Amino acid sequence: ALMYEKPDHLNPGPPLAQLGEVYLFEGRIDESRSLLEKALDVLDEKDVVFLAMAKTDLAEAALIQGDFEAAKYWLKEAYPHAVLHARRFIVFLCALAGYLVLPNGDKEDKQKAARLFGAIEKLSNQTGIGFNSYYQDLNKKRIALARKKLSEREWLEAFESGYGWERGEAIQLAGTLLKRKHR
């Protein structure tokens, strides 16, 4: 007798992660979190893009809800998956920059965020990966928060420094930022 094997495309994880992201973009944060957590329950290790999506989006949801511990947890969880995919890595860097521009962050964090925004722009230009309106608006707000704490010169120096990075350097710095103990 032939055994019927469930094809991979019937895995509910990817559509759950995508719907969770749509809900995040719509501001339906609790529903988004619920779907993203369900996605993580059923996603397979080989679903790298969707693991990166779900975990990065959970970090974004935590940032919106002011749960900075959870945001850092999900950023750490997302990192190994996000670095394997160009678009997901850029979106991950946006979330990490968002974490760094939090009100309780110091000037050094804002400079690191400015470097990340430089790297984000470079990677975006190199890959042709653009942002949807959700991330365009979010990045504008986050850049404004970073610039509030920095002089024009400090902003430009940090931004240009990040713009000079290659992808590998961005990956390395992101990993270093996540290892920090404080906050």
DSSP 8-state code for residue 102: S
Ranges of the chain whose pLDDT falls below 50: 183
Give the per-residue pLDDT at 103: 78
Cα distance between residue 17 and residue 45, in whole Å: 14
Give the per-residue pLDDT at 105: 79
DSSP 8-state code for residue 3: P
Would residue 114 be called left, alpha or beta, if left means φ above 0 and alpha means ψ between -120 and 50 degrees?
alpha
| Phi, psi dihedral angles at 173 (to 5 degrees) | -65, -40
Give the per-residue pLDDT at 180: 73
Give the per-residue pLDDT at 142: 96
Give the per-residue pLDDT at 182: 52
Give the per-residue pLDDT at 4: 52
Handedness of CA 54, 60, 65, 71 (dihedral sign): positive
CB 63 within 8 A of CB 71: yes
How do residues 104-114 score in pLDDT, each as one tens digit?
778 999 999 99
User: Structure pTM?
Assistant: 0.91
How do residues 140-181 score in pLDDT, each as one tens digit?
999 999 999 999 999 999 999 999 999 999 999 999 999 875
- The HSE-up count of residue 99 (CA atoms within 13 Å, CB side) is 30
